[in-house]
Amino acid sequence: MSAWLQRFAGLARPGARAVDVACGAGRHARWLAARGCRVLALDRDRAALASCAAPGVARLCCDLEADGWPLADAARFDLVLVTRYLWRPLLPALVAAVAAGGALLYETFGVGQEQLGRPRRPEFLLRPGELLDAVRGELEVVAYEWGRADLPEPAIVQRIAAVRAPAAPPALGSGPA
């Protein structure tokens, strides 16, 4: 279980609509659903998706790398969650999918991980500050970390918790008299 998710899950409002990207067996999707979120779990592995069946969890089998973002451009979520996954072409769609007042929680491996274990290929390792660059001008950073983490095993990670400003209320005097 991601301690980062547990730490910042409160950024999502009660009853939040969440998406767990590259969810694998869905431990995070099920955890969020157990806390009242309506979760869409995305993964390309049908067997893994089958294991994340739970009340409050909808599942969509899709290959994000071959086919891109599978949802309509207008799809917005109160919480966009990504853990241990990186496909750079998807970053703009993930940031755009954060609804007004919503949050992005992203946590994956960074450069330096290749010295400790898998993944080792540069295309799967975030460069220093890369998540900050991905949200710049779109989301407000609540927390950011980059460096060595020792739990559950030693790894070089980069994490961000970022929010989109809430929608502005209507102007005074714009309603019926």
Residue 141 is predicted with a pLDDT of 98
Any idea where the domains of the chain sit in the sequence? 16-163
- Give the closest residue to 156 by CA, choosing from 167, 164, 145, 166: 145
Superfamily of domain 16-163: Vaccinia Virus protein VP39 (3.40.50.150)
pTM of the model: 0.93
pLDDT of 109 > 90? The answer is yes
Per-residue pLDDT band at 175 (split at 50, 70, 90): low
> DSSP letters along 125-170, please?
SBPTTHHHHHHTTTSEEEEEEEEEE-SSS-EEEEEEEEEPPPPPPP
Query: Is-contact 83 28, C-beta < 8 A?
Result: yes
Give the residue with greater pLDDT, 115 vs 177.
115
- Give the closest residue to 107 by CA, choosing from 69, 159, 46: 159
* C-beta atoms surrounding 101 within 10 Å: 16
pLDDT of 177 > 70? The answer is no
Give the residue with greater pLDDT, 175 vs 35.
35
Per-residue model confidence as pLDDT tens digits over 127-174: 999 999 999 999 999 999 999 998 778 999 999 999 999 987 777 766
SS3 84: coil
3-state helix, strand, coil in the chain (%, to 5): 25, 30, 40
pLDDT of 176 > 70? The answer is no
pLDDT of 75 > 60? The answer is yes
Per-residue model confidence as pLDDT tens digits over 18-73: 999 999 999 999 999 999 999 999 999 999 999 999 999 999 999 999 999 999 98
Residue 152 is predicted with a pLDDT of 78
Query: d(Cα 46, Cα 140) in Å, to the nearest integer?
Result: 35
Residue 173 is predicted with a pLDDT of 65
Give the residue with greater pLDDT, 4 vs 169.
4
SS3 70: coil
- Give the closest residue to 106 by CA, choosing from 135, 77, 68: 135
**What is the mean predicted confidence (pLDDT) over 120-126?**
95
